[in-house]
Amino acid sequence: MRNIRLTIAYDGTEYHGFQRQPEFHGPTIQGTLEKTWQKLVEEEVSLTTAGRTDTGVHAAGQVVNFHTKARIPIDKIPKAFNSMLPRDIRVLEAQEVEPEFNARFKARWKRYDYLIDNSPIVDVFSRLYTAHEPLPLNYSKMQEAAGYLEGRHNFKAFCAVGGSSKTFERNLYICRVTKEAHKIRITCIGDGFLYNMVRIIAGTLIYVGKERIQPEEIPKIITSQDRTLGGPTAPPQGLTMTYVHYGEDSPLDIYPEFRD
């Protein structure tokens, strides 16, 4: 059996999340990819993913792998997929990898970006990829609060009910707030993420921007392990899974712009 690793991008707007579901729930990313492969080579496969994204969440660099008997040359795989997939899912790259490679368990760290449109009237061209916050946000307080979140912590206060994690300690290497005209970007890079963790971080930082939570309260919220103390879970369309890393390099090797 060959082990194939795919890097994929998708606009999650029309999908009922990543994970395969019974048909009546609506299409999923996994279901669409698996069905496409079946049409291409008449083989049922089961994808393993670096991270299951929720309904409406996007990916610019999701990674999946699957085992196959098909002999289709590796360099033909992206084109074969893309000729059959809907235009909101694209296979960016295919690689043949060692049998042990597992997109989920071999991932060293992941990057997510949460984008906020902070203009008074929503920008129609980015509305599907941002959360709209019309009132001015206190940007420097958001930056200060993000600093408290960086590092190794028990993130139980930032984990939604319904996740499958048994441990809550994660290392959030990078949590940064940057600005691009009317857009505010929250970048989270960590060794693992709890259920809805980035959206709860985003919702909490938006509350900090609205001055409903002060930056200095963040350490207390972390220590409390109490989900009710932070902000609400920010809406899915602002979230994009940007990148998954499998090698030795640290996040700062790959993203030197985050060196202080």
Residues that bind a second copy (CB under 8 A): 9-11, 58, 60, 78, 82, 87-92, 121-125, 127, 129
Catalytic residue from among 54, 113, 226, 253:
54
Contact of 112 with 188, CB cutoff 8 Å = yes
Q: Which is nearer to a second copy, 81 or 255 (CB)?
A: 81
Q: CA-to-CA distance for 134 and 114, rounded, in angstroms?
A: 16
User: Please, is 79 exposed, middle or buried when counting C-beta atoms within 10 Å of its C-beta (0-12, 13-18, 19+)?
Assistant: exposed
Count of CB atoms situated within 10 Å of the CB of 160: 14
Q: Which is nearer to a second copy, 21 or 82 (CB)?
A: 82
| Strand residues in 125-168 grouped as ranges (E) | 131-132, 151-154
Q: What is the dihedral of CA 72, 76, 79, 80, to 10 degrees?
A: -10
Q: Which is nearer to a second copy, 129 or 148 (CB)?
A: 129
Minimum distance between the CB of residue 208 and a second copy, rounded to whole angstroms? 26
Instruction: Give me 152's structure tokens.
Output: 């190794």
Q: Which is nearer to a second copy, 63 or 208 (CB)?
A: 63
Residue 75 a catalytic site member:
no
- Quick check: helix, strand or coil at residue 99? coil
Q: CA-to-CA distance for 168 and 203, rounded, in angstroms?
A: 19
Minimum distance between the CB of residue 53 and a second copy, rounded to whole angstroms? 13
Minimum distance between the CB of residue 32 and a second copy, rounded to whole angstroms? 13
Minimum distance between the CB of residue 199 and a second copy, rounded to whole angstroms? 19
- Catalytic residues, by residue number, are 54
